[in-house]
Amino acid sequence: MNIEARIVSKVQKALLELYDTDMASEKIQVQRTRKDFTGDFTVVVFPFLGFTKRPPEQTGEEIGQFLKEKVDEISDFNVIKGFLNLIIGNDFWLRFLNSMHQRGHIYDFALESGQGKIVVEYSSPNTNKPLHLGHIRNNLLGFSISRILEATGHEVKKVNLVNDRGIHICKSMLAWQKWGQGETPESKGVKGDHLVGDYYVLFDQEYKRQVAELTEKGYTREEAEKEAPLMKEARQMLHRWEQDDAQTVELWKKMNGWVLEGFEQTYQALGIDFDRVYYESQVYKLGKEQVQKGLEAGAFFTGKDGSVWADMADEALDQKLLLRSDGTSVYITQDIGTAIQRYQEFDFDQHIYVVGNEQKYHFQVLKILLGKLGYEWAENLHHLAYGMVELPEGKMKSREGTVVDADDLIDEMLQTAETMTRESGKVGDFSDAEKNRIYHSIGLGALKYFILKVDPKKNMTFDPKESVDFNGNTGPFIQYSYARINSLIQKAGERNISVPEQVKASTPINDKEIQLIKLIHQFPSFIQDAASEMNPAVIANFVYELAREFNQFYHEYSVLSAEDEQLVQLRMVLSIQVSRVIREAMWLLGIDLPERM
RNA sequence: GGUCCUGUAGCUCAGCUGGAUAGAGCAACGGCCUUCUAAGCCGUAGGUCCCAGGUUCGAAUCCUGGCAGGAUCACCA
């Protein structure tokens, strides 16, 4: 049990003994004492006044007195207005630090194993164009939240559902067939996903031209869009694909292969991976059967033209199409099928879908439909709906060419990292391989941190200028803090300063040191919060605060040349523990740390 | 029009299930490297927490109603 929980239970006891009142522990507020007051934890006494029948100051005094006598860790207290500030004795913090020092992972004690199995679906790209900034947010969130859930004792399965079929892929295929002249990623020297994306753009340009031509001839816009020869051809191609036409399938396999290879490179650069990859081409039919079953069971109904619908009037929603009149399935039908498949495969306790917030309605409906089919686990599906990434000049629009390409962005980050590092002149003696590793850590660290530090559900503005800034609340700031501690530890070794197994109980600790130990102490509860809110930003903000706090300490006090031996040992142990927490917090975010920078 | 999300310093964001004088970074200005990495540290300046009511001992936080921005309500995915 952590110290806060202990205080709550002791306050509860105090209320019972002093005022004969049994108060629920959730109603007792214990919080960190604000920096401008003395104390470590604060009990808010206002809620107790109803039954203590005493003014706030007196109530605080009485409870404070009780706690000081009955709780060893509490060495003193003070009362200001209705706030009872408790002071925890140094020996408690020292004991805590020592216990930390002997542990493996720090987040171990956030970890209660056997918390259940969770499937996290993320990334889910279409195979007709390369990844962009929006996908990066998705990938980073999915990957980080998976690690956070693992740290809280869940068994996590990371899955990707690649949308490798449909009309959009046919568009690229058609354009390549018409104008590609056998071009390949190798022959052209570009990544496969970019090559295919280029043909998608080509299709769109030509298609627009045809539509314009037709509207000039007197077609309405809608007619023109439908009748444009290119679109007709694309639809025919999709039809052929669905008929398993050998030539079409071969072309599809070839171009999908190019794209997937390109994606793989991007994933690798981002440092993310999956336990299982699904392809829509293989699972898109799964839902039909389920819908048929539901139809037979009376959960759904048939329209006049043979299409199948669900009525969601009970949920105050409209009707939803599940199968088209020609019997083919729509998007939601597929998701019904894959959800059931995954439940059978993994027997999950929860399933998280990391998908943009524009699909909120979709997932709301998905849960309802699975409920109608009688699956109680439908309520264990969660949609982690993240906001869109906007640019300072507004939304990213592929049509206007304002999308930020993932690979370009990564390159730019690496370039900047290299330039900045060169200018600092700190890695002169490194091998090229080492230097590249460092540029990669820093460049990607900056990008990842920039994106993960904001609350997922909010839309965020991505300012390229700001993202490339390595000062302030950034990934490199934290990496730098870490590298400095690391160097400290190296130096200690060179100077034959040994790190003790235990810090001596009598060692005096100053406020800054206590502040740092307190932060470390809170790490597990931040992990819990991040997990329950599905929000990596909680971790990001925490580790930033820790790094900032440490930098202040580092600036103000000397570790290796502290006044006496005991202090050197305390500060060494403290520094090591801080670096461990930074490392583990950054690991939860999926951000690498260079040992030197 | 219905539903959902967001609105905090010039800009980008924190602010936990209501708690003390609302916090960081960037940008601006001024300091600190003969001392463990200055990608750092310190200071100055900057606020009608969108508006109006309500609940409460207490509201940036909860409720209601506005306003502004965004998303969504396809036989698209």
**Contact, A266 vs A406, CB < 8 A?**
yes
Distance A153 CA to B6 C1' (A): 32
Question: For position A554, which CATH number holds?
Answer: 1.10.730.10
Query: A180 and A35, same structural domain?
Result: no
**pLDDT at residue A399, rounded to an integer:** 67
Distance A473 CA to B48 C1' (A): 28
Provide block-wise average pLDDT over 10 residues at a time, chain A (597 residues): 85 93 87 88 93 91 95 93 93 93 68 84 95 96 96 95 94 96 96 96 92 90 88 93 94 97 97 97 92 93 92 88 90 94 96 95 95 94 94 78 90 95 86 94 97 95 89 96 97 92 92 94 92 96 97 96 93 96 96 95
Which nucleotide lies nearest residue A556, CA to C1'? Answer: B41
Which nucleotide lies nearest residue A426, CA to C1'? Answer: B37
How far, in Å, CA of A390 to CA of A405, rounded?
13
**pLDDT at residue A276, rounded to an integer:** 97
CB of residue A179 closer than 7 A to nucleic acid strand B? no
The answer to whether residue A73 is domain-embedded is yes
Distance A236 CA to B27 C1' (A): 56
Q: Distance from CA of residue A370 to its chain's centroid? A: 26
Query: A180 and A77, same structural domain?
Result: no
**Contact, A502 vs A101, CB < 8 A?**
yes
Provide CB contacts within 8 A for A17, sequence distance 6+.
A66
Query: A461 and A555, same structural domain?
Result: yes
Residues lying close to strand B (Cβ under 7 A), chosen from 133-152 of chain A, are none
**pLDDT at residue A106, rounded to an integer:** 62
**pLDDT at residue A112, rounded to an integer:** 67
**pLDDT at residue A27, rounded to an integer:** 84
How far, in Å, CA of A379 to CA of A345, rounded?
18
Query: A436 and A531, same structural domain?
Result: yes
The answer to whether residue A300 is domain-embedded is no
The answer to whether residue A533 is domain-embedded is yes
The answer to whether residue A443 is domain-embedded is yes
Query: What distances in angstroms separate CA A356 from CA A122, A317, A361, A389, A456, one per listed residue?
Result: 10, 21, 11, 10, 10
Query: A199 and A52, same structural domain?
Result: no
pLDDT digits (tens, 9 = 90+) for A336-352: 999 999 999 999 999 99
The answer to whether residue A378 is domain-embedded is no
Which nucleotide lies nearest residue A568, CA to C1'? Answer: B36
Which nucleotide lies nearest residue A306, CA to C1'? Answer: B75
CB of residue A360 closer than 7 A to nucleic acid strand B? yes
Query: A185 and A66, same structural domain?
Result: no
**pLDDT at residue A108, rounded to an integer:** 56
Query: A561 and A461, same structural domain?
Result: yes
Distance A547 CA to B42 C1' (A): 17
Report, in ranges, which bases of strand B sit under 7 Å from a protein C-beta.
2, 4-7, 11-17, 19-21, 24-27, 35-42, 57-58, 70-77
**Number of domains observed in the structure of chain A:** 3
Distance A156 CA to B48 C1' (A): 47
Provide CB contacts within 8 A for A410, sequence distance 6+.
A266, A269, A270, A443, A444, A447
Measuring alpha carbon to C1', the residue closest to nucleotide B15 is A541
CB of residue A39 closer than 7 A to nucleic acid strand B? yes
Range of the domain at A470: 406-589
Bridge pairing between strands A83-88 and A381-386: unpaired
Measuring alpha carbon to C1', the residue closest to nucleotide B27 is A466
Which nucleotide lies nearest residue A416, CA to C1'? Answer: B39
Query: A577 and A461, same structural domain?
Result: yes
Query: A171 and A82, same structural domain?
Result: no
Which nucleotide lies nearest residue A484, CA to C1'? Answer: B37
Residue that finishes a domain, picked among A254, A270, A286: A270
Residues lying close to strand B (Cβ under 7 A), chosen from 522-581 of chain A, are 529, 537-538, 541, 544, 548, 551-552, 554-561
Query: A583 and A470, same structural domain?
Result: yes
Query: A582 and A485, same structural domain?
Result: yes
The answer to whether residue A77 is domain-embedded is yes
Residues lying close to strand B (Cβ under 7 A), chosen from 183-242 of chain A, are none
Residue that finishes a domain, picked among A63, A88, A113: A88
Residue that finishes a domain, picked among A244, A270, A296: A270
Which nucleotide lies nearest residue A355, CA to C1'? Answer: B77
What are the CB-based long-range contacts (under 8 Å, 24+) for A322-325? Answer: A322/A287, A322/A291, A322/A369, A323/A288, A323/A291
Residues lying close to strand B (Cβ under 7 A), chosen from 272-331 of chain A, are 280, 303, 305, 307, 318, 321, 324-326, 330-331
Using alpha carbons only, what angle is made at residue A99 by residues A93 and A102, rounded to the nearest 5 degrees?
A: 145
Distance A537 CA to B19 C1' (A): 24
The answer to whether residue A160 is domain-embedded is no
Query: A170 and A80, same structural domain?
Result: no
Provide CB contacts within 8 A for A295, sequence distance 6+.
A301, A302, A308
pLDDT digits (tens, 9 = 90+) for A301-326: 999 899 999 999 888 788 999 999 98
Which nucleotide lies nearest residue A82, CA to C1'? Answer: B20
> Which of A556, A540, A420, A547 has its CA nearest to residue A485?
A547
Question: For position A54, which CATH number holds?
Answer: 3.30.1360.70
> Which of A317, A320, A316, A326 has its CA nearest to residue A294?
A320
The answer to whether residue A319 is domain-embedded is no
Distance A169 CA to B31 C1' (A): 60
Distance A487 CA to B40 C1' (A): 14
Query: What distances in angstroms separate CA A194 from CA A253, A258, A304, one per listed residue?
Result: 16, 9, 44
**pLDDT at residue A396, rounded to an integer:** 80
pLDDT digits (tens, 9 = 90+) for A254-270: 999 999 999 999 999 99
